[in-house]
Amino acid sequence: MLAIFQKQVAHAPQELNSPRSGGASSNNKPRSPDEILRDFHAAHPTDAFSTSFGGGAALACVGPTASGTYQRMFCGLDDIYCVFLGRLDNLSGLNRQYGLCGRSTNEALLVIEAYRTLRDRGPYPADQVVKDLAGAFAFVVFDNRSGAVFAALGGNDGGDSVPLYWGVAADGSAVISDDRDVVKRGCGKSYAPFPAGCMFHSEGGLKSFEHPMNRLKAMPRVDSEGAMCGATFKVDTFTKINSMPRVGSATNWAAAWDDAI
């Protein structure tokens, strides 16, 4: 999968910007979003597809027939789009929970329904909704109507995990992909693994859904050449934050996310 969002859509955490990006060699300089998208298609010449949006967003995915450990999906519903990688072990139970029984659905469509429930009705904190997803998964949701971005990476499920990386392109765009080489080439030194057990929203930023009461702290990261790279994020077990409040049907869930930070 690959997702690219220009700065007017989503701001990547400042800590992802490497101090070495500006002076990096030509081989390590960040690339433009168009170059990164072309690089993704070049890496998967026969089965990659992508779509771009006028607001400054692009999503790409490799077809379901591609080789790999995890299934890959791309779905759109009511102008909400989801790229999903992995599996949900409790998909049947979640379908019942969201009233999707009797419909033809999959993990990507379930995530869209969960996001839409959060956006429109907000009965639960966002961290609880994502925490209810059991399995090894990563997803990126783009709401083309509101311009919102919502991404998450599941925790280490019994040693089984999905790889996910993110970084900052040459123009400041946020780049998210499971293809490490694409992110590394596209973002230069300004890239890092996406933190497991965490979720990112374009308005609320990065939070842990496994430990929502704790803040995240950026940890400096040095590559094999000794150069500073984009930081990784760890749960700060010593720093607590206020619990995200439950919100009513008239309250925007993203605003509640902001209030909890």
List Cβ neighbours of 38 (8 Å cut-off, separation of 6 or more). none
pLDDT band at 250 (very low <50, low <70, confident <90, very high): very low
pLDDT at 66 over 70: no
CB 158 within 8 A of CB 107: no
pLDDT at 167 over 60: yes
pLDDT at 224 over 90: no
pLDDT computed for residue 63 by the predictor: 81
Cα radius of gyration (the chain): 18
Over residues 96-114, the mean pLDDT reads 90
Q: What percent of the chain has pLDDT over 70?
A: 86
pLDDT band at 23 (very low <50, low <70, confident <90, very high): low
Q: Give the tens place of pLDDT for each residue, 196-213.
A: 999 999 999 999 999 999
Return the H-helix or E-strand segment holding 153.
strand 148-153
pLDDT computed for residue 123 by the predictor: 61
Q: Give the tens place of pLDDT for each residue, 144-157.
A: 999 999 999 998 76
At 87 the three-state DSSP class reads coil
Kindly state the tokens that stand for 224.
């094999």
What is 2-260's CATH number, 3.40.50.300, 1.10.10.10, 3.30.470.20, 3.60.20.10?
3.60.20.10
pLDDT at 39 over 60: yes
Report the predicted TM-score, pTM, of the whole model to 2 decimal places: 0.88
Burial-class residue 58 by CB neighbours within 10 Å (0-12, 13-18, 19+): buried
pLDDT computed for residue 10 by the predictor: 97
Domain segments of the chain as ranges = 2-260
pLDDT band at 255 (very low <50, low <70, confident <90, very high): low
pLDDT at 115 over 80: yes
Select the highest-mean-pLDDT range: 65-69, 116-120, 127-131, 139-143. Answer: 139-143
Kindly state the tokens that stand for 130.
């994502």
